[in-house]
Amino acid sequence: MLQTLPLKIDLFAIIMLLGVVQGFFLAFFFLTHQKGNKVAHRYLGLFLFAIAFSITEVLMGYTNYTFQTLYLVDMAEPLNFTVAPLSFLYIQTYITERFTKTQLLHFIPFFAYLIYMSVLFYPLPDTYHYNSYLYAFHPDMATVPCDYSEKEWYYFFKHHVNELMFAHMVIYLIASFYVVISAFRQENLPLAATQNPKLSWARKQVISLASIVIIFLVVKRTFIHDLGDHILAGHITLIIYAISFTVISRSRFFHEEQTKTGKKYEKSSLTTDIQDNILLKLTELMDTQKPFLNDSFSLPVLAKMLAVSPHHLSQILNEKLGQSFFDYTAAYRIREAQQLLSSPENAHIKIEEIAEMVGYNSKSAFNTSFKKIVGQTPSQFRVQK
């Protein structure tokens, strides 16, 4: 007779349950979403599905529900070999927006381990699944006699699956960092820069994957068998809700300002052709004459130089560039400051003087704008260069 234990419901169990529900919901959302980068969305949806399914198995083991479903022991284990590849492929396709059939080769370890488990482990009787579950979550309980030998060479992979998974994740983590760093370099931006939302999001995903790898290592080194997996599952739940928060914050529901902007200019006489022509003149003016370097530079001043009204110029900046006049000016000024700070000839010039040279009267305002756009303070940027 196989011994069982009562259900264990505590805070960690509730956290994991929330992660499972939200993970599957978010996976369905990305797998069925028809707008934007569909390939990247599919990879993210599959990633969320994999981690939600993995949390489900941990939840069942942690709460003792596995005693009632011994045939499901280690059912999610092969999926662990998809987490890192899916995260990497999501980052890669999110940045490049390209899909190639060779990307499917990344799933060879998953299918190989799935076949391996399907042949050697899943068909085994419940007594072995029972012993395997006790070994992972209840090592203090006595196992039952079983006509089975674990010492065969072909069970090497099963016994060392954690080491294999860790090595697998580290390889993909390095590859993910390489993809993101290369993308930042192509844009001539430091890795900490925040002005490119797309690259900033990709960087966050690499950091999330790195945190999973680190927590995985700490948990497996601290706890015997799978006794600490609930901590890893709790961490992954936080990642799921962080992604959910980002999706909600980017929802059209919160883009009321854009609607207000559209109503603000709905009676404007500016046609698209006129806007494009003025924008072309604006770009040429800013690049050649650099009026933004003057600390008295303002919207009326710039509008006068272009022979348009300040209202029309503000409309063009909002509708064509999605920027306010102040953000548009700051981008030019900070770009100029980066060039000055990067030049060895200006190494003797103080930060305050650089700020004045690009049109700032206040060093604090300059520092705030610089860090917001570049992701570093002017001093940090100068040291790195």
Query: Is residue 164 over pLDDT 70?
Result: yes
pLDDT of residue 22: 97
pLDDT, tens digit, 9 for 90 and up, residues 12-21 = 999 999 999 9
11-254 has which fold?
Rhopdopsin 7-helix transmembrane proteins (1.20.1070)
At 359 the three-state DSSP class reads coil
pLDDT band at 117 (very low <50, low <70, confident <90, very high): very high
Residue burial 306-315, b: 16+ Cβ < 10 Å; e: rest: eebeeebbbb
Name the maximum alpha-carbon separation found in the chain: 91
The pLDDT tens digits of the residues spanning 337-353 come to 999 999 888 889 999 99
**pLDDT recorded at residue 265:** 56
Closest CA to 286 of 249, 251, 323: 323
Confidence at residue 267, expressed as pLDDT on a 0 to 100 scale: 56
Q: How far lies 140's CA from each of 97, 133, 228, in Å?
A: 51, 12, 15
- DSSP letters along 55-97, please? HHHHHHHHTTGGGG-GGGTTTTGGGHHHHHHHHHHHHHHHHH-
Average pLDDT over the chain reads 89
Indicate if the pLDDT at residue 148 is higher than 80.
no
What tokens were used for 143? 């196992």
d(CA 48, CA 313): 44
Using alpha carbons, select from 319, 299, 321 the residue that is nearest to residue 308.
299
DSSP 224: S
Q: Are 180 and 206 in contact (CB under 8 A)?
A: yes
At residue 38, the pLDDT reads 86
| Contact criterion met (CB below 8 Å) for 93 and 152 | no
Q: Report residue 383's pLDDT band, with 50, 70 and 90 as the boundaries.
A: confident
Burial class of 179 by CB neighbour count within 10 A (0 to 12, 13 to 18, 19+): middle
- Residue count of the chain: 385
Q: How far is CA 81 from CA 77, 178, 343, in A?
A: 8, 20, 47
Q: 334 by DSSP, 3-state: which?
A: helix
Q: Which of 11-25, 161-175, 241-255, 313-327 comes out lowest in average pLDDT?
A: 241-255
Q: Give the angle 48-51-52 at the CA atoms, nearest 5°.
A: 80
Contacts of 13 (CB under 8 A, 6+ apart): 59, 62, 63, 230
Domain boundaries, the chain: 11-254, 265-384
Grade residue 151 by pLDDT with cuts at 50, 70 and 90: low
Closest C-alpha among 79, 213, 76, 74 to residue 135 = 74
- The third-level CATH classification (topology) of the domain covering 265-384 is Arc Repressor Mutant, subunit A (1.10.10)
Burial classification of residue 267, based on how many CB atoms lie within 10 Å of its CB (0-12 exposed, 13-18 middle, 19 or more buried):
exposed
The percent of residues above 90 in pLDDT, for the chain, comes to 61
CA dihedral (22, 23, 27, 29) in degrees, to 10, reads 10
Q: What is the pLDDT of residues 246-295, one digit of tens each?
A: 888 776 665 555 445 555 555 556 777 788 889 999 999 999 999 999 98
Q: What is the average per-residue pLDDT within 94-115?
A: 93
Nearest Cα neighbor of 114 from 86, 160, 81 is: 81
Instruction: Classify residue 103 by its DSSP letter.
Output: G
Tell me the one-letter amino acid at 61.
G
pLDDT digits (tens, 9 = 90+) for 171-221: 999 999 999 999 888 877 788 888 778 889 999 999 999 999 999 999 999
Whether pLDDT at 138 is above 90: yes
Lowest mean pLDDT among 164-168, 187-191, 304-308: 187-191
